[in-house]
Amino acid sequence: MWRMRRIAVRRPGISLVLIASIAVVVASCDSTGTGTSAGSDVTTTAAATLPPTSLPPTSAAGTRVAVASTVAETLPATTAVPTTVAATVAPTTTASPATTAPPTTMASPACAGGAPIPAGATDVVTINGDVDGDQVADAISSYALDGVPHVHAALTSDGPSDVAVPIGFAETVTIAFEDIDHSLGADVPPPFVVSAVGAGNAGSAFLTFLSPGDDGCLQQWQLDGNPFVFRVSQQGPYAGLVCDGAAGSIHYVLDTVDQNADGTWTVATQALTHDGTTAVVRDLDSQVVADDAGVAAQYGNIVNCGQAPPIP
């Protein structure tokens, strides 16, 4: 122990190492309780752990000359801190959502002939009734222009429209309102349909119907892609239209009558309805009636409808 202290005094450069070594030896003595072993351990430890030390040079007189010893302290290499240059990022501009213009309500295209009745029209006859379902009476007129019959509508909801109806041999037609969609007790009465009759040759006439289409324009009914026209006749075979009210409705029935060899008559009947401006014809049961002088008047005319009988 004395030698170790002496070493510590004469070699201050390694004092820190020796102090650490002494701490280890003391710990070893405490655990073994033997001083001799501790001394041996100290000697061994000092030999093993002391780094090579350069002693100061000795003078000629044997006195050591104190030389300032600079102990380089080993510092960890300084890593240069990278300079972070903030990239100039252009601010992101969020585009405003495109503004969608509200849908423009397009006006209904003008109907064919959508103008007032021409100044040169003749035989102008006007009736008033609701044909477009708005519960307001519309003005429906018939007139002749250049030898062609026309039906003109001035609707309160969709404006004027005009239809040429060259039926029969007449230059004009007779118009009337038909309650073909009649429904007893309906909260809102259904609109009327327009019937038009043009004269044929003696004892006959031609019948058609008109209604506003989805576009609000007056149109002639169609059947199988052609204008619907029914011939009313007492020339034989007899043919006519009979309107019969039953169960809160008015049934429009087309009759065609042929005489049999025994003098009886076979009456073929068809129910007439419509889907907008399309005529719908449905066959009904036929019947045989006895020969009678009133057969022609009963089945060969327009009976009990809005339109007056065209054949006297």
Closest among 78, 59, 79 to 67, alpha carbons compared: 59
Residue 43 main-chain phi, psi, to 5 deg: -60, -45
Residue 226: CA count within 13 A, CB half-sphere: 5
Rounded CA separation 112/284 (Å): 37
With residue 124 as reference, give the H or E element that holds it.
strand 122-129
Alpha carbon distance, N-terminus to C-terminus of the chain: 159
Question: Residue 176: its pLDDT value, please?
Answer: 98
The residue that leads in pLDDT, 98 or 164, is 164
Mapped onto helix, strand or coil, the DSSP state of residue 3 is helix
pLDDT at residue 76 is higher than 90: no
Question: Residue 114: its pLDDT value, please?
Answer: 81
Tens-digit pLDDT profile for residues 228-276:
999 999 998 999 999 999 889 999 999 999 999 999 999 999 999 999 9
The pLDDT of 134-153, averaged and rounded, is 96
With residue 223 as reference, give the H or E element that holds it.
strand 222-223
Residue 26 main-chain phi, psi, to 5 deg: -60, -40
pLDDT at residue 57 is higher than 80: no
Predicted model pTM:
0.66
Contacts of residue 148, Cβ cutoff 8 Å, sequence gap at least 6: 164, 166, 171
With residue 6 as reference, give the H or E element that holds it.
helix 2-10
